Structure 1
């Protein structure tokens, strides 16, 4: 167990644990005993529960941070691995970077404060200047997680961009395998498809600005025609600035500014439409993964989808616990059959036979749902219908008017994915346990049809 005052690598003395971090991760304010400077120390536990992709992202953050040189990005200091001698009983990977004294803009919001239009423009300008630097590197560096908690405001009112844990060197993207990173509400749809581009960071910045001037998280704002409706929550916003933010947060990639330079020029000039009308790079069409059993038929007026039961893939949502659970269910099933037969043979207590029969039927119904349930989606230009079916029995029918559909989300849960159709009132889940590429393909097909 790591504790305050503990010294790591004979150099870094832990002082205060910072913020809320995911399991297996810790962030500390520490003191470099050699230089007497305060530093930020990020730690990742090497444990059986760790996903290999987490280590890849952690190492990538260290590599990218080491290559960066910008006055508003924390400087890389050190990277190391701690063995078991720390007394923590597990190994740790450590990343040391410059400490930026100040408050995050998330803390600013939580204190009840809001940005004025003048302040928002100043912060937008400073972050865009950082993005111009990042995106013009070779290969371009995409932050992929811009949000209020990753922007630090110092006492002299300068803004720093921190936490490069989701960073990506764009040239590294090949094939169709990807890792979903980013924060819901701030990350655009193409990023959940694993196709982040420079304009994806612009969307996140626009969504962040909306949160800072309204005090309302983007995911909680109403939408109309796939646009966040935020202007009504702020008094005296310049219509030109509203238009600029709306263009930053267009859900369709081709309607957004394509570069940070373009967005910065538009902000400074007050011209929402950029001077050059170059379109964004079109996202490559994701092919249907081989082996997928999803049935999809579409025309201009109708989209029909059948998603099969999650089956054994559902185990991936809970790992070994899920495996033990279903082994337990199987054992109870066999036991119920045996006890029921024996009770019938020896004419045991009637209640015992009834209990065993009821237990068996409940278990069989659960297994039928797990391995036999299908989800039917019928979407036309007027209405969305979603219905579940198991062994020919239909149930759980839901519907919503087409005009109330806001968009499509790809949600990760453990090692599997769910496609969600978002409406004004609720989210509609399609498939309980899709593969990564299968989920991305289905989300793109639905979104393309909605925008056609």
Structure 2
């Protein structure tokens, strides 16, 4: 039955606009004259149905919508069965109208969302998915895509079009979804709650690039997000987790995916590194364990100690001569042996500082705390420094040069954290990749705050 603008459906709903048309359904905007509210009516005529599976899905959608109660899912209003004069029957699902534009429509109009905007949208959709996946039995949407996510004028995100939903207990092997947004298992008719996560990941990819997953070169069907888009490392890792082709490699559920954005999670570190980094939306915690003394460094320290002890008798003799009153002669004797001795002490102390120091660095929106800890031969010494996170200017790789005991120049690679008044040195004697990774993570966190 073809409705026109102004028609009354069910003696209550006056059609005001045709919103869209699918393969067998038509959606209208209407006024609920009983409640004085705007609604959306999805209509299905028996005469347009080619198989009973279509009717089953439509009735399942109505049944499911009736039990849903979430602020980001349009409210169920009514379900109508109308017998027409020509002997046809029409089914209508009536819902609250989600006013706004779909994410697909916004992209087509030139919208270029920032990473922060996309994260916010993903978080809101994950909240909805967590709700429907935790129902008894769980509900799988099966068609998460930009067309089915509405952004309202106030920025609120609404999930619509539940015509592809699957009741997990009823199961089913029907292939339902949209090419470019369907998880691999959906092509086999085996949708899981994590299939919706893949659809959301594909939606996020589209928002950032304007392309769906089918338009990306995929080796073994896995998309290398980092090589395709310039994103913060943590968000790129999260998106790759959403787009994992194998179910077992994806996030376990929507709540896990949500917590990966909002709560603590460990960021992948360079291979074989023992540095740990945990980052949340509001905090960053880094632990840099002591490297310990390698055999080569131990040999260097032994050599320095040996040379220092060779010069030690000259230092003692100079002190004795100074006691006898020959101060100038004592200074002349002490100069070179004393220089060797002091440089040796400095070298050993420096190596102990570098290799036995544990650093615990914690940032939040307001403050940062740097804790340095040394444990040597059962003795422990701890030093605390703190400051305002907003005062941090940058962190960069730096090379400092020192003269060792025989006046050769040696180089110390570190990370230098500057807060405008103090300089803090981190990750000394760590590899270039480790320093580069830490620098990127800290700078990204600081820039998001500032």
- Alignment correspondent of 2:64: 64
Give the structure, 1 or 2, with the largest relative contact order (CA under 8 Å, sep 6 or more): 1
Aligned to 1:246: 240
TM-score (norm 1): 0.57
State how 1:268-279 maps to structure 2 within 5 Å. Answer: 268-269=262-263, 271=265
RMSD: 1.8
Aligned residue in 1 for 2:182: 187
**Could you say if the C-alpha distance between residues 272 and 224 of structure 1 is closer, same or farther in structure 2, counting changes exceeding 3 Å?**
farther
Select 2:251's aligned residue among 245, 252, 257.
Answer: 257
Report what 2:32 is aligned to. 32
Q: TM-score, normalised on structure 2?
A: 0.57
Check if 1:123 corresponds to 2:121: yes
Count of equivalent residues: 267
CA distance in 2, matches of 1:20, 1:3: 14
1:263 to partner: Cα distance: 0.7
The CA distance in 1 between the partners of 2:267 and 2:21, in whole Å, is 40
Partner of 1:267: 261
Q: In 2, are the aligned partners of 1:115 and 1:212 still within 8 Å (CA)?
A: yes
Q: CA shift at 1:19, angstroms?
A: 2.5
Question: Is the CA contact (8 Å cut-off) linking 1:40 and 1:97 kept in structure 2?
Answer: yes
Tell me by how many angstroms 1:240 deviates.
1.3
Partner-residue secondary structure (3-state), 1:132: helix
Structure 2 residue aligned with 1:147: 145
The answer to whether the Cα contact below 8 Å between 2:234 and 2:267 also exists between their aligned partners in 1 is no
What does residue 209 of structure 2 align with? 214
Task: Map 1:43-58; keep pairs closer than 5 Å.
Answer: 43-47=43-47, 49-58=49-58
Identify if the C-alpha distance between structure 1 residues 56 and 221 changes in structure 2 by more than 3 Å, giving closer, same or farther: same
Asked if residue 161 in structure 1 is aligned to residue 159 in structure 2, the reply is: yes
- 1:16 deviates by 0.9
Corresponding position of 1:77:
77
Counterpart of 1:59 in 2: which secondary structure? helix
User: How many Å apart are 1:20 and its aligned residue?
Assistant: 3.8
1:98 corresponds in structure 2 to: 96
User: Using a 3 Å threshold, how does the CA distance of structure 1 residues 25 and 16 change in structure 2: closer, same or farther?
Assistant: same
CA distance in 2, matches of 1:48, 1:26: 11
Structure 2: any 5+ residue segments left out of the alignment? Answer: 269-450
CA apart distance, 1:146: 0.5
Residues 18, 29 of structure 2: 8 Å contact kept = yes
**2:74, 2:160 within 8 Å by CA — same for their partners in 1?**
yes
Larger Rg: 2
Alpha-carbon spacing, 1:272–1:76, altered in 2? closer, same or farther (3 Å): farther
1:133-144 alignment, distance < 5 Å? 133-144=131-142
Contact residue 49 and residue 55 of structure 2 kept, 8 A: no
Residue of structure 2 in register with 1:412 after alignment: none
Q: Whole-Å Cα distance in 2 between the matches of residues 207 and 250 of structure 1? A: 11
Q: 1:18 to 1:229 in 2, by over 3 A?
A: farther
Gaps of 5+ in 1: 275-452
Residue of structure 2 aligned with 1:228, choices 215, 220, 223:
223
Cα distance change, pair 48–134 in 1 and its aligned pair in 2 (3 A): closer
Query: 1:170 maps to what in 2?
Result: 168
Runs of 4+ in 1 over 3 A off after TM superposition: 229-235
- Contact kept? 2:180, 2:213, Cα under 8 Å: yes
